[in-house]
Amino acid sequence: MRLLLLRHGQTSANTTAALDTAAPGHELTDLGLRQAQAAARALGTLGIGLVAVSTATRTSQTAMPLVTSLGLEPVRHDGLREIAAGDFEMRNDHAAIEGYLGTIGGWLEGDLVRRMPGGETGHEFLARYDAAVARVCGQGSDVTLVVSHGAAIRTWVTHRARGDHAPIHEGLHNTGCITLDGNPHEGWTVASWHREPIGGAWLDDLAAPDPTGGDLEADEAPEDSPQSSGS
């Protein structure tokens, strides 16, 4: 089967580097809505038979143009939510972003017992994302689209998929899309990694200090991230 992992469209939290990981979360910006419309046009001819979203509003908004055009009803799974920021939730200061990315960077290097302060371990994250993907893939569609989140998608793909890819360094911008072939039982292979918006690179906001769309290996926050906490 084919599994498409699409990151949601842009939200205001993405433009301010706020770690917005709890549901329902921020809604899409005007650019995010345009990204969603363009993604629907790009993905609409791929034979998608099932669309799954997380419990965050932004994933449902991103999926809406596509499911409307295909006549599908999106399936919601809490396990597809973003890696919980825990004590760093809705902060955008340097220490919070450094702590969040540093913890995920440890997971990518194999330290899965490491716990996000106030949040989950790498093992706990992979277990709930594995369960959600298995449930989605068990519903009989040959081509499935999952609309999820930047850090979650890349961390899961790093641990669960084979292929010539460098997920630690390769970004996944808003409505960027990773395509996998395989199944939950035999494993997955990366068929493509499209870091820019799938509807067109012109929809990319390169000025946004978006921590979960960039390098997850870095132990430091982006230099241009805000230095005050809050959203």
User: Residue 59 and residue 206: Cα distance in Å, rounded?
Assistant: 21
> 24: cis peptide before it, omega within 30°?
yes
Show the 3-state SS of 106-158. Answer: HHHCCCCCCECCCCCEHHHHHHHHHHHHHHHHCCCCCEEEEEECHHHHHHHHH
Nearest to 146 by CA among 45, 26, 32, 63: 63
Q: Specify whether the CB–CB gap between 75 and 52 falls below 8 A.
A: yes
DSSP 88: G
User: Residue 91 and residue 97: Cα distance in Å, rounded?
Assistant: 8
Catalytic residue among 26, 27, 77, 82: 82
Q: How far apart are the first and last CA of the chain?
A: 39
What amino acid is encoded at 66 in this protein? Answer: L
Catalytic residue among 8, 94, 149, 173: 8
What amino acid is encoded at 172 in this protein? Answer: L
Catalytic (active site) residue 185: no
Q: Tokens for 72, please give them.
A: 């599908």
Catalytic (active site) residue 8: yes
User: Residue 34 and residue 176: Cα distance in Å, rounded?
Assistant: 14
- Provide the annotated active-site residues: 8, 82
